Amino acid sequence: MAKRSDSLAKVTLAREPDAELREKISAFVRKRGCTGVCYTIDPKIVGGIIIGIGDTILDGSVRGRLEHIKQSL
């Protein structure tokens, strides 16, 4: 993943993150060149996390995993 300066990571979670998780997410996206994080809460993803940085989407959500399994059957 290419570094992007002055970009904002878009993070979707099923529930509000605690302070420890926010720090881990911030550290993760800073390593990839992002300067900030925009959080969205979406209970439909069931659990896990979706991180969008520029054109790259990292989908670690339960819903995403279930869709991947469904497509592979």
Whether residue 1 lies inside any domain: the answer is: no
Residue 57: is its pLDDT beyond 60?
Answer: yes
Domain span holding position 56: 7-72
Please state, in angstroms and rounded to a whole number, the distance separating the CA atoms of residues 48 and 59.
8
| Statement: residue 2 has pLDDT above 70 | no
Give pLDDT tens digits for 7-52: 899 999 999 999 999 999 999 999 999 999 999 999 999 999 999 9
Q: Positive or negative, the Cα torsion across 61, 62, 63, 68?
A: positive
**Residue 53 maps to a domain:** yes
As a whole number of angstroms, the distance between CA 73 and CA 60 comes to: 19
CA 52 to chain centroid: 6
Q: How many folded domains does the chain comprise?
A: 1
- Radius of gyration for the chain, computed over Cα atoms and rounded to the nearest angstrom: 13
Residue 28 domain-assigned (yes or no): yes
Residue 21: inside a domain, yes or no?
A: yes
Residue 37 vs residue 5, higher pLDDT: 37
Residue 2, in any domain of the structure: no
* Contact present, 32 and 1 (Cβ < 8 Å): yes
